[in-house]
């Protein structure tokens, strides 16, 4: 099988010159990469970014977004920065601003891909498990996209990279009529449903506080989930330390749904219309959705660029797994040692399961070759 070519710039900086800095190397990498093969003059191009959250302050830095935007402009196209609603849309626009992602810093307007309420979407066939996914209408309609992913851990999928970003990030928060077609249909086995076990509940209120939709309330020792408000984001289950709240889903089933969602989103693009950039900095153990961010589990690695979401995630995973766990991090707390499968040891399931599933669905190749920037 042909290997997918990826280009790599290391985060190491030993000469203290701009061209040896990661922004300088990224700029060179972008000009070397043949954007003109993927985007046409005057075309609208989405730059897909996760905007982080109020406490998750480690999304991709504006400098890398700006350079991507500038490269798209240099190709004669018209970029905009986009993201799907993770918390109520107006709040999310403010969060982007707090995290340094704005038109002023990044050089292109910010657009909510599924509208202020997270319900602007188009149903697309995805496969036998979910059936249909509600692809954010902007992502559905835009002809070309650069997926700029912060590679890191994730409590449910073990890792977040290009595949997860396309899927969870390309699918809308919820569909107005079809339960289970929104992002919640990937998080939960029963459509958009979080389970509560009263016996395990200490009534600490953490879940009520963390819910971005104000969908939870506790009265007279009974927890109530407003099904009309809940979009099954899973935040509440993640902060529940006793296991009283849970996403009733098997980790491997979650991976299958996630990859099927990615397939649905990718089906809305023609061939050779998406470029992937994986940024391996601040490789923290959790998703940028959560209202907090831990320290990195491994040292900063660098940036990969390519046109195959599977190959870029496989290469990123291999690089993280080959890294030494950092002291004073979750990896060292768990006693993880170099040479193991770091992300698989941190969370279940083994991230390789999701990558293999993506290969099975024909989303790309796990075989890759890496061209280091200085060898371009």
| Interface with ligand SF4: number of residues (CB under 6 A) | 26
The single residue among 85, 95, 124, 244 that binds ligand SF4, judged by CB under 6 A, is 244
* Residue 289 to residue 155: CA distance in whole angstroms: 11
Which residue lies nearer to ligand SF4 by CB, 45 or 240? 240
242 binds ligand SF4 (CB under 6 A): yes
Which residue lies nearer to ligand SF4 by CB, 216 or 330? 216
Which residue lies nearer to ligand SF4 by CB, 239 or 311? 239
The interface region with ligand SF4, picked from 35-43, 111-119, 232-240, 341-349 by CB under 6 A, is 232-240
Residue whose C-alpha is closest to residue 11's, from 365, 276, 320 = 320
**Is residue 67 within 8 Å of residue 73, measured between CB atoms?**
no
The interface region with ligand SF4, picked from 82-90, 139-147, 242-250, 272-280 by CB under 6 A, is 242-250
Burial label for 108, CB within 10 Å (0-12, 13-18, 19+), is: buried
Closest approach, Cβ 213 to ligand SF4, in A, equals 4
Residue 153 tokens, joined: 């851990």
Closest approach, Cβ 196 to ligand SF4, in A, equals 6
The single residue among 61, 183, 235, 366 that binds ligand SF4, judged by CB under 6 A, is 235
Residue whose C-alpha is closest to residue 221's, from 236, 242, 201 = 201
189 binds ligand SF4 (CB under 6 A): no
Binding letters toward ligand SF4, positions 31-60, x by CB under 6 A:
------------------------------
Which residue lies nearer to ligand SF4 by CB, 51 or 196? 196
Closest approach, Cβ 241 to ligand SF4, in A, equals 7
Closest approach, Cβ 108 to ligand SF4, in A, equals 30
The single residue among 34, 36, 40, 202 that binds ligand SF4, judged by CB under 6 A, is 202
11 binds ligand SF4 (CB under 6 A): no
- Cis peptide, bond prior to residue 349, ω within 30 of zero: yes
Place of tokens 């010159």: 17
Binding letters toward ligand SF4, positions 318-357, x by CB under 6 A:
----------------------------------------
* Residue 247 to residue 238: CA distance in whole angstroms: 9
End-to-end CA distance of the chain: 23
Which residue lies nearer to ligand SF4 by CB, 230 or 317? 230
Element (H, E) at 263: helix 251-266
289 binds ligand SF4 (CB under 6 A): no
Burial label for 42, CB within 10 Å (0-12, 13-18, 19+), is: exposed
The single residue among 206, 326, 370, 371 that binds ligand SF4, judged by CB under 6 A, is 206
Q: What are the strands, taking DSSP E only, across the chain?
A: 4-10, 44-48, 78-83, 110-112, 121-127, 131-136, 144-150, 152-154, 158-160, 195-196, 216-219, 222-225, 245-246, 274-280, 302-306, 368-372
Residue 140 tokens, joined: 């559905």
Which residue lies nearer to ligand SF4 by CB, 159 or 231? 231
* Residue 259 to residue 251: CA distance in whole angstroms: 12
Which residue lies nearer to ligand SF4 by CB, 15 or 221? 221
Element (H, E) at 64: helix 62-74
Q: Which residues bind ligand SF4 (CB under 6 A)?
A: 194, 201-207, 211, 213, 215-216, 223, 225, 230-236, 239-240, 242, 244-245
């Amino acid at each position: 099988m042909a290997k997918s070519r990826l280009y790599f710039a290391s985060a190491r900086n030993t000469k203290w010159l701009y061209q040896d800095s990661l922004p300088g190397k990224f700029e060179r990498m972008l000009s070397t990469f043949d954007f003109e093969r993927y985007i046409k003059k005057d075309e609208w191009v989405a730059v897909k970014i996760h905007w982080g959250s109020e406490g998750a302050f480690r999304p991709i830095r504006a400098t890398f977004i700006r350079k991507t935007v500038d490269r798209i402009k240099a190709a004669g196209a018209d970029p905009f920065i986009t993201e799907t609603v993770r918390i109520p849309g107006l709040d999310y626009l403010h969060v982007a601003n707090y995290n340094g992602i704005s038109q002023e810093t990044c050089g292109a307007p910010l657009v909510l891909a599924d509208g202020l309420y997270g319900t602007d979407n188009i149903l697309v066939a995805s496969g036998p498990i979910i059936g249909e996914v509600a692809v954010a209408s902007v992502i559905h309609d835009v002809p070309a996209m650069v997926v700029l992913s912060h590679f890191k851990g994730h409590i449910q999928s073990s890792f977040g990279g290009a595949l997860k970003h396309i899927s969870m990030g390309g699918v809308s928060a919820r569909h107005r009529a079809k339960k289970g077609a929104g992002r919640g249909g990937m998080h939960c086995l029963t459509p958009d449903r979080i389970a509560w076990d009263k016996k395990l509940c200490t009534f600490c209120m953490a879940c009520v506080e963390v819910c971005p939709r104000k969908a939870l309330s506790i009265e007279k020792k009974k927890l109530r989930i407003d099904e009309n408000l809940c979009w099954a984001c899973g935040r509440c289950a993640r902060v529940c330390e006793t296991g009283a709240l849970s996403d009733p889903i098997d980790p491997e089933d979650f991976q299958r749904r996630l990859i099927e969602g990615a397939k649905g989103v990718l089906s809305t693009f023609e061939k050779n219309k998406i470029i992937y950039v994986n940024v391996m900095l601040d490789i923290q153990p959790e998703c940028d959705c959560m209202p907090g961010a831990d320290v990195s589990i491994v040292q900063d690695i660098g940036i990969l660029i390519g046109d195959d979401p599977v190959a870029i995630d496989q290469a990123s995973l291999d690089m993280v797994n080959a890294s030494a766990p950092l002291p004073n991090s979750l990896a060292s707390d768990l006693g993880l040692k170099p040479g193991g499968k770091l992300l698989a040891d941190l969370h279940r399931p083994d991230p390789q399961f999701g990558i293999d599933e993506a290969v099975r669905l024909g989303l790309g190749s796990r075989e890759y070759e890496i061209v280091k920037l200085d060898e371009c």
